[in-house]
Amino acid sequence: MTTTRHLGGTGLAVAPIGLGCMSMSSGYGPPGDHVAMRTLLRHAVDRGVTLFDTALVYGPFVNESLVGEALAPLRQEVVIATKFGFDIDLDTGQNRGGLNSRPAYIRASVDGSLRRLQTDYIDLLYQHRVDPAVPIEEVAGTVRDLIGEGKVRHFGLSEAGVSTIRRAHAVQPVSALQSEYSLWWREPEQEIFPVLEELGIGFVPFSPLGRGFLTGTINAHTTFDANDFRHNIPRLSADNREANQRVVELVQRIATKREATAAQVALAWLLAQRSWIVPIPGTTKRHRLDENVGAAALTLTPDDVLALDGAASLVHGARYVERLQAQIDR
């Protein structure tokens, strides 16, 4: 990958495909082998990946430590994004439930992240979820101060709504918004994209491969590990997985025509939507990382894009259970 994309108007430039690191430590069953994951992260740099996405809550702490150990020798070659905002006991790592974006907690979170990441600055600091108990102006002001102190370089939001984005951006320019976006989750296009375009904010889609479903490797008979959070995704219930095979079949038809994989087509479709979109597919496998990086070289035709646009209308099942949906800012 040699092409560069810009996130926001503050000079944050990255390769078109990033790497979401969460699955290396949590969320998708047992964590990957530490040495193997460290090797994979360094291989990603060799393949031209520059944006690496982690968070305090992944583990907690474990994923930041892994990313820090792997990338410390390559620090000047990479852009590291991490997040604060879930209420984690910063001494014990206990997840106390709920959200916490109080200014003092943000500062303490950042100091811990810097230690674990083995760096003296965070390239992109996201608020992981909007905390309704803390005005976004206070959050943005705290990050603005951290930028002034050199601990942070760019400010990001995750799963934030239009009003929150505007209010935060008025205090401290937002470089990137991170939210779920893929062929089978198109909601950001409706209200979010116009605001990002207006304000000059980049977009970083997480779960760009539909939590693995759009790769074509998951079907109704797939068994998820007991610790895999996909058990909580309604559209990945066994019945919905069977119904949603029509989505994968559509993607695979285009992939066959383009001599590519389903994952590459799904990622290339994202890259075709806007020049300021940088997806962060996650993986624990070297061949999947190579496959994902290869999507940057795939150019879809307008007819391909139009055909793929119909995928969302074929999807069965909700994005989240009610408990998780309640954390999304509107």
Active site residues: 58
What letter represents residue 136's amino acid?
I
| Residue pair 176/146 in contact by the 8 Å Cβ criterion | no
- DSSP secondary structure, 28-57, as one string: BSSPPPHHHHHHHHHHHHHTT--EEE--TT
- DSSP secondary structure, 61-80, as one string: THHHHHHHHHHGGGGGG-EE
- Between helix 103-117 and helix 136-148 the angle, nearest 10°, is 40
With a CB cutoff of 8 Å and minimum separation 6, the contacts of 218 are 212, 236, 241
Distance CA 147, CA 141 (A): 10
Helix/strand/coil for 103: helix
Which H or E run contains 51?
strand 51-53
